[in-house]
């Protein structure tokens, strides 16, 4: 460890890692550059925003039998959210990074590339690339702004510094290419982790987090909409992107001063089967409904997705369609899929059903990414017996989720009176009822035309065929058009 004096305030600044070139003074936020025989003042860096992460400088853990300590952090923001990157120093003097986003964690360490790496401008989410002689799928491609820093870092960073990064997946393997500096990108490889699996020590508890951030992390709180004053329930430190259910205003609650992102227009209150704020016990875990959004496919078919959060279990989804309910979770370990008709997960093959476009038509509540009406994704769905997989692709990101059917009676048992309506008609019965009014109308029109055939033929002799035919067509339309309307009501 090397201890120097801050050039700005004179306080002690510690460099624990020989690889660190910059440290942030914890007293005055000055960026201190370590040079060969001196230190230099690089100016101030912004403090991190409301700090809800349980991790802090000094947190320790073990990865694969290798102890590590957290020695630094940068905070990054992109157009749909923000995340932390914690700088780690292992006991063997090597270093790594711990990504921290919405309660999900990923550890990566620097590796030497074995071949040329693709250019940042050529990368597209969802495409496959060969990295170190293995094929990986691009999970997301982003440019993010540094908005704060702490501790020591292996490079010079500050306000205005941008990170250009791309993440890749192959099963449980994870690769990050960092294009932030000039020259070839840096290659990092890693795996998804949990704080429990790393046996983390010196984590901040709820009271410490509340003292620094003003609220408890991950516990429901209320925020008044800056536009209309309606209360919005959200999870501090977990769901900073809010959509007011009353006026549709988008709100960023990640900064100390709530920021209105888009002045919402007054909208008719949507009716949901499951109330926002409803709490239930799924298995042995408590969950609360914190967000809801409606989506539609290319043909206009709509469904509703509810975002749930549990203090110990994290995020999960409930999906409501015309055919019933299902429960879905985002996958940390990805299926293997080459774009063909099957995807493989846990040595099981899933058959591809269809691909379609989807658009968000309505959103309300709290989310762990920025969502708004009009957001579009491309979806590919796969199925094996009762289990379904879905790959959802945007211009910047690809995600995979797995879902299983959920009985309506089970939903009622979990949430009780917060569930409205009855079980949806599904399966053969739904198929049988679809278009029933039009079918009845067609049959009636055929019978009517058969009965009118003789009068129509007779009218040809006296010159009244045109008028008689027109009356028949008007009668058919008078029967068929209401049937179309009734079928549309039936579908809704």
Give me Rg for the CA atoms of the chain. Answer: 29
| Rounded Cα distance, 422 and 416, in Å | 12
pLDDT more than 70, % of the chain: 80
| Rounded Cα distance, 54 and 134, in Å | 35
- pLDDT at 425 (0 to 100): 58
**Beta bridge partner(s), residue 77:** 82, 145
Q: Which residue has the tokens 């947190």?
A: 59
- pLDDT at 111 (0 to 100): 93
pLDDT band at 304 (very low <50, low <70, confident <90, very high): very high
Distances (CA, A) of 284 to 280, 281, 287, 292, 414: 10, 6, 10, 23, 11
- pLDDT at 428 (0 to 100): 46
- pLDDT at 40 (0 to 100): 67
- pLDDT at 232 (0 to 100): 87
Residues 324-373: tens digit of each pLDDT? 999 999 998 999 998 899 999 999 999 999 999 999 999 999 888 888 88
Q: Is the pLDDT of residue 295 over 80?
A: yes
Residues 153-182: tens digit of each pLDDT? 888 877 778 999 999 999 889 999 999 988
Total-model pTM: 0.73
Average pLDDT over residues 57-82: 90
CA 106 vs. chain centroid, Å, equals 16
How buried is 427 (Cβ within 10 angstroms: 0-12 exposed, 13-18 middle, 19+ buried)? exposed
- pLDDT at 285 (0 to 100): 85
Residues 427-483: tens digit of each pLDDT? 444 444 556 666 777 777 776 666 666 665 666 656 565 666 666 677 777 777 776
Residues 236-265: tens digit of each pLDDT? 777 778 888 888 888 887 766 677 777 665
Average pLDDT over residues 485-489: 65
- pLDDT at 430 (0 to 100): 45
| Residue 258, C-beta contacts closer than 8 angstroms, at least 6 positions apart | 223, 226, 251, 252
| Residue 215, C-beta contacts closer than 8 angstroms, at least 6 positions apart | 221, 236, 237
Bridge-based pairing of strands 348-367 and 376-384 is antiparallel
pLDDT band at 314 (very low <50, low <70, confident <90, very high): confident
pLDDT band at 222 (very low <50, low <70, confident <90, very high): confident
pLDDT band at 221 (very low <50, low <70, confident <90, very high): confident
Of 27 and 395, the one with more pLDDT: 395
């Amino acid at each position: 460890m090397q201890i120097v004096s801050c050039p700005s305030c004179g306080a002690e600044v510690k460099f624990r890692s020989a690889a660190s070139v910059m440290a942030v003074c914890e007293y005055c936020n000055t960026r201190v550059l370590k040079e060969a025989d001196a230190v230099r003042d690089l100016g101030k860096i912004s403090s991190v925003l409301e700090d809800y992460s349980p991790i802090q400088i000094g947190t320790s853990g073990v990865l694969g039998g290798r102890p590590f300590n957290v020695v630094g952090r940068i905070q990054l923001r992109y157009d749909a959210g923000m995340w932390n990157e914690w700088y780690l120093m292992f006991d063997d003097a090597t270093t790594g990074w711990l990504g921290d986003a919405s309660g999900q964690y990923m550890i990566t360490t620097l590796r030497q590339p074995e071949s040329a790496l693709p250019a940042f401008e050529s990368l597209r989410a969802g495409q496959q690339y060969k990295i170190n002689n293995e094929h990986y799928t691009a999970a997301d491609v982003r440019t993010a702004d540094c908005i704060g820093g702490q501790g020591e870092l292996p490079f010079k960073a500050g306000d205005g510094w941008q990170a250009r990064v791309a993440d890749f997946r192959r099963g449980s393997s994870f690769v990050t290419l960092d294009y932030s500096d000039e020259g070839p990108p840096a290659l990092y490889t890693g795996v998804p982790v949990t704080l429990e699996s790393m046996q983390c020590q010196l984590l901040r508890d709820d009271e410490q987090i509340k003292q620094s951030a003003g609220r408890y992390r991950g516990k429901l709180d209320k925020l008044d909409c800056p536009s209309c004053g309606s209360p919005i329930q959200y999870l501090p430190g977990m769901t900073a992107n809010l959509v007011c259910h009353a006026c549709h205003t988008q709100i960023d609650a990640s900064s100390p001063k709530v920021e209105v992102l888009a002045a919402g227009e007054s909208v008719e209150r949507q009716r949901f089967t499951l109330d926002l704020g409803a709490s239930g016990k799924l298995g042995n875990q408590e969950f609360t409904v914190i967000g809801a959004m409606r989506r539609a496919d290319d043909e206009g078919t709509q469904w509703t997705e509810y975002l749930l959060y549990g203090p110990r279990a994290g995020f999960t989804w409930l999906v409501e369609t015309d055919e019933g309910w299902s429960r879905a979770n985002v996958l940390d370990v990805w299926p293997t899929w080459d774009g063909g008709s099957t995807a493989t997960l846990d040595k099981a093959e899933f058959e591809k059903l269809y691909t379609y476009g989807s658009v968000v038509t309505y959103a309300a509540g709290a989310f762990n990414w920025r969502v708004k009406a009009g957001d579009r994704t491309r979806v590919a769905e796969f199925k094996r017996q009762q289990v379904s997989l879905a790959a959802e692709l945007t211009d910047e990101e690809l995600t995979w989720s797995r879902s299983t059917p959920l009985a309506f009676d089970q939903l009622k048992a979990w949430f009780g009176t917060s569930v409205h309506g009855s079980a949806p008609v599904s399966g053969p019965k739904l198929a049988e009822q679809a278009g029933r009014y039009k079918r009845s109308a067609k049959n009636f029109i055929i019978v009517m035309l058969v009965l009118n055939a003789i009068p129509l033929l007779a009218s040809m002799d006296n010159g009244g065929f045109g008028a008689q035919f027109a009356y028949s067509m008007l009668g058919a339309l008078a029967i068929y058009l209401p049937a179309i309307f009734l079928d549309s009501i039936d579908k809704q």
